[in-house]
Amino acid sequence: MASTELGEYLRARRARLHPAQVNLPDTGPRRVPGLRREEVALLVGVSVDYYIRLEQGRERGPSAQVVDALSIALRLDADGRQHLFRLAGLAPRAHTAAAPGRVDPSLRQLMDAWPDNPAVVYNRAYDVLASNTIADALFHDWTHSRNLMHIVFTDPTARLFYADWLDIARNSVAGFRFGHGEAPDDPRIQQVLGELLGQSPEFAQLWTTHDARGKALASKRFHHHDVGPLTLTMQTFDVRSSPGQALVVYHAEPGTPSSRALALLGSLAVTARETPDRTRSASPCSTPENAPK
């Protein structure tokens, strides 16, 4: 029988652990990395046969006690534990098939009141539903896509725009899977997932790791072709009035080169808005045609 997503997640997590990490003796060479099934079963306090059935998809209804023991044995963090409970059918998933696409007008007004802080609202599929003027400038007016996953994985210039592209890619996939676990039947999530699996070998490889975690406070380094390097702190907030939407706000440390570059970017954004015929670049980090090669 084909494994379930629960089974695949369990297998991926135990492959990340070494016996010494869980206070078990290392009994010699292993055919594959990570803990053996019998070692996980020992840590959880279930039979080896029962654990094998879980991984193979023949056991689909583990108790909350077993899932809790699995989360401890596999050293899962809070997001990983929540994801595991969802896969086991023991935590609530989204009540609606898709998050609403409308952003509350008062939230838009708040975002527009931050001229120096790029801010975007996106859904579980990472579609940008709203953005303020300086965010449009940061992401070059979304000329490649208004989907953040597509920007990371299908824009050929993304590796220049994101100075730490691999870290961004890993975190983006983990966040996307976390949202997928919350609303696996969301048609837009399924559409974006299919597109990325078909268009990006890097995404397809990272998807097999089964990492799942929500967004947290983070620092990102960008290289913007108008203002140069930027190091910005990213804060993410759930939009309580619209479950499935998240607000992301960026800021620069005061008095730093990034702060000055961000202020310049804001000025350029205002100028561009006041001059609609301004020539715009083709993608987040493309080079103007008349620039030196």
Which 3-state string (H, E, C) describes 228-274? EEEEEEEEEEECCCCCCCEEEEEECCCCCHHHHHHHHHHHHHHHHHH
**Residues 121, 216 within the same domain:** yes
**Residues 53, 137 within the same domain:** no
**CB neighbour list of residue 110: distance below 8 Å, 6 or more residues apart:** none
Q: Quick check: 212 and 177 in contact, CB under 8 A?
A: yes
Find the angle CA(34)-CA(218)-CA(120) to the nearest 5 degrees.
120
CATH (domain of 78): 1.10.260.40
Cα 92 to the chain's mean position, in Å?
Answer: 20
**Residues 184, 64 within the same domain:** no
From CA 220, how far away is CA 163, in angstroms rounded?
8
CATH (domain of 183): 3.30.450.180
**Residues 72, 110 within the same domain:** no
Per-residue pLDDT of the chain (293 residues; tens, 9 = 90+): 456 899 999 999 999 999 989 988 887 778 778 999 999 999 999 999 999 999 998 887 899 999 999 999 999 999 999 999 999 999 877 765 555 678 999 999 999 999 999 999 999 999 999 999 999 999 998 999 999 999 999 999 999 999 999 999 999 999 999 999 999 889 999 999 999 999 999 999 999 999 999 887 889 999 999 999 999 999 999 998 888 899 999 999 999 999 999 999 999 888 877 776 544 444 444 433 333 33
b or e along 15-38 (b: 16 or more beta carbons within 10 Å of the residue's beta carbon)? eebeeeebebeeeeeeeeebbbbe
**Residues 81, 113 within the same domain:** no
**Residues 62, 147 within the same domain:** no
**Residues 72, 113 within the same domain:** no
Whether the model clears a pTM of 0.75, i.e. scores above it, the answer is yes
Helix (H, G, I), strand (E, B) or coil at 8: helix
Q: Quick check: 257 and 230 in contact, CB under 8 A?
A: no
Any idea of the CA torsion for 204, 30, 80, 98, to the nearest 10 degrees? 30
Q: Quick check: 285 and 224 in contact, CB under 8 A?
A: yes
> Which residues form the domain of 33?
5-87
Cα 39 to the chain's mean position, in Å?
Answer: 31
From CA 119, how far away is CA 107, in angstroms rounded?
11
**Residues 33, 165 within the same domain:** no
Whether residue 286 is contained in a domain is answered as no
**Residues 63, 125 within the same domain:** no
Two structure tokens written together for 13:
């997590």
Domain count, the chain: 2
From CA 223, how far away is CA 230, in angstroms rounded?
6
Whether residue 283 is contained in a domain is answered as no
